[in-house]
């Protein structure tokens, strides 16, 4: 499982009620059943690039009556192995931007009234590829770079909220395996190991902005 599931497990264990999604409905069902309290999770399977699915998520949140935190974690890598930008299929690039940058903003627009009412928090999961120029990472990295800028502007437009871009660093996840097929990534941190740093943004006093898991972990230590 990835960072979203690892964070969900921690939130549910702390007594949070969570509305969440995944593209694979069967995998989502299995994941929910493994939670400490499956009843604390409202599962809405679907793709965040789909406006109707985003509406379903927003309606589910509205039904709960309160929103303290939104975490935009859904990402797609694009073609694997990733092509150089000069040969990147534009239709694929548009979809990468739709999922990684446009969908988080579109969903946030739907739930912003509830979030502002509670003075809540926004966490957009970014990547080091958003700020570093890696050959072969131009599609994913530029989409995450756009997400970083959206996050920064939202932070200055909504002073009552805490708005974060979170860079988890390299992790042993399915997305990383897609990016580096055949590479041994067993030595990378698991998502569970990154969650304590992420929780500093969920419960701590860090100012709005871009935060790296490695930096947050040092502060926690």
Q: Across-strand partners of 18? A: 41
Among candidate residues 75, 142, 144, 208, the one labeled active-site is 144
> Distance between CA atoms of 73 and 70, rounded to whole angstroms?
9
Are 169 and 128 in contact, with CB atoms under 8 Å apart?
A: yes
Placement of tokens 């996840």 in the chain: 173
Residues in the chain: 221
Among candidate residues 127, 142, 164, 208, the one labeled active-site is 127
- Known catalytic membership, residue 75: no
Among candidate residues 126, 142, 164, 208, the one labeled active-site is 126
Among candidate residues 140, 142, 164, 208, the one labeled active-site is 140
> Distance between CA atoms of 48 and 101, rounded to whole angstroms?
11
Helix (H) or strand (E) holding 119: none
Side by side, which strands form the sheet with 209-212? 69-72, 121-125, 162-167, 209-212
- Known catalytic membership, residue 126: yes
Q: How far apart are the first and last CA of the chain?
A: 26
Helix (H) or strand (E) holding 107: helix 103-118
> How distant, in Å, are the alpha carbons of 75, 124, 163, 179, 189 from that of 117?
28, 20, 15, 39, 36
> Distance between CA atoms of 126 and 147, rounded to whole angstroms?
7
Structure tokens at 113: 């009234």
**Residues identified as active-site:** 126-127, 140, 144
């Amino acid at each position: 499982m990835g960072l979203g599931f690892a964070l969900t497990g921690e939130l549910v264990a702390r007594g949070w009620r969570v509305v969440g999604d995944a593209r694979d409905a069967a995998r989502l069902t299995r994941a929910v059943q493994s939670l400490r309290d499956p009843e604390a999770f409202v599962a809405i399977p679907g793709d965040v690039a789909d406006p109707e699915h985003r509406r379903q998520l927003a309606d589910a949140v509205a039904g709960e009556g309160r929103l303290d935190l939104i975490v935009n974690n859904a990402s797609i890598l694009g073609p694997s192995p990733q092509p150089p930008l000069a040969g990147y299929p534009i239709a694929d690039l548009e979809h990468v931007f739709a999922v990684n940058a446009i969908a988080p903003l579109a969903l946030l627009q739907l739930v912003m009234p509830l979030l502002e009412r509670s003075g809540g928090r926004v966490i957009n999961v970014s990547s080091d590829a958003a700020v570093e120029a890696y050959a072969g990472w131009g599609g994913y990295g530029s989409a995450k770079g756009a997400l970083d800028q959206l996050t920064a502007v939202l932070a200055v437009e909504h002073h009552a909220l805490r708005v974060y871009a979170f860079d988890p660093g390299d992790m042993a996840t399915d997305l990383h395996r897609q990016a580096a097929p055949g590479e041994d990534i067993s030595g990378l941190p698991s998502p569970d190991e990154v969650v304590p740093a992420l929780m500093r943004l969920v419960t701590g006093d860090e100012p709005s902005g871009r935060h790296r898991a490695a930096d947050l972990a040092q502060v926690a230590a």
